[in-house]
Amino acid sequence: MRSDWMRECAMETDNHTVSSNSGAIALGPVGRIPPGEGRCFKIGARQAAVFRQRDGAVFALQARCPHQGGPLADGLIGAGAVVCPLHGRRFRLSDGAGVDNELAARSYPVEVRGATIFIRGLEQP
């Protein structure tokens, strides 16, 4: 799933078509997220939890846990998942699927170009 998006993005970059009208939003420098952690980004009234694995891979999920609204960005990550800090439910970083539970978080395509994080698909609130 993720690799499809990477391919798409690569194409877009090649064509220099990435701009606000392609829907990609710049979230600022990747250094805003300490390695291995997540942060909640606000874009106007929209928000997303963006994670940066120690290996450099970046992922984005809905900001609030589908269980009871816990702040996913504050969760521990590892083994490709984030653990919600409130009640410990796990969600896969790549697609938001619940690892040990039936719930699922929305995931958004993200990418780092240069040192900037771009996100796409954030729906209007």
Partner 1 sequence: MMAENMINGGKEKLVVIGTGMAAGRAVEEITNRAPGRFEIAMYGAEPHTIYNRILLSEVLAGTKSPESVFLYSTQWFERRGVTLASGARVEAIDRAQKTIALEGGGQASYNKLIIATGSLPMVPPIENINTPGVFVFRTINDCQLIAAYARRCRRAAVVGGGLLGIEAARGLLEHGLEITVVEVMPYPMAQQLDPESGAMLARRLESIGLKFLFEKATQRVLGSGRVRGLRFKDDTAIDTDMVVISCGIRPNVRLAVDAGLAVERGIVCDDRLLTSDPDIYSVGECVEHRGRTYGLVAPLFEQARVLADHITGANPEAAYGGSRISTRLKVMGVDLVSVGDAREGPGAVVTRYAEPHRGVYKKLVVRGGKLAGAILLGEVDCAAAVIAAYENDAAAPPRHADLLFGAGGGADTADALPMEAAVCTCHQVSKRVVVERIAAGCKLPQLCAETRAGTGCGGCRPQLEALIAKYGGAGRDPAADYYVKSVPLAKPELIAEIRRRGLRSVSAVIRELGGGLDDPASKPGLASLLRTVWRDRYEDERDARFINDRVHANIQNDGTFSVVPRIYGGVTSPGQLRRIAEVAEKYGVRMVKITGGQRIDLLGVKREDLPAVWRDLGMPSGHAYTKALRTCKTCVGQEFCRYGVGDSTALGIAIERRFQGVETPHKMKLAVSGCARNCAESTVKDVGVVAVPGGWQIHVGGAAGLRVRAADLLATVSTQEEALTIIGRFIQYYRENARYAERSPAFVERIGIQRLRALLIEDCEGQAQRLDREIQAEIENYRDPWTEGRQPHDPMQFRGEVQA
Neighbouring residues of 9: CB distance < 8 A, sequence distance ≥ 6: 18, 109, 111, 113, 118
- Joined together, the tokens standing for residue 105 give 């978080």
67 forms part of the interface with ligand FES (CB under 6 A): yes
Ordered DSSP codes for 41-65: EEETTEEEEEEE-TTS-EEEEESB-
Rounded to whole angstroms, the Cα distance separating 49 from 60 reads 6
Q: Which of 48, 84, 105, 122 binds ligand FES (CB under 6 A)?
A: 84
7 forms part of the interface with ligand FES (CB under 6 A): no
Smallest distance, partner 1 to C-beta of residue 77, A: 6
CA angle 106, 109, 110 (to 5 degrees): 120
Q: Which of 9, 12, 24, 25 binds partner 1 (CB under 8 A)?
A: 25
- Joined together, the tokens standing for residue 111 give 């990418």
Q: Which of 81, 89, 108, 109 binds partner 1 (CB under 8 A)?
A: 81
38 forms part of the interface with ligand FES (CB under 6 A): no
Q: Residue numbers of the site for ligand FES (CB under 6 A)?
A: 65, 67-70, 84, 86-89
Residues of this chain that bind partner 1 (CB under 8 A): 25-28, 32-37, 39-43, 47, 54, 68-71, 74-79, 81-83, 85-86, 90, 98, 101-104
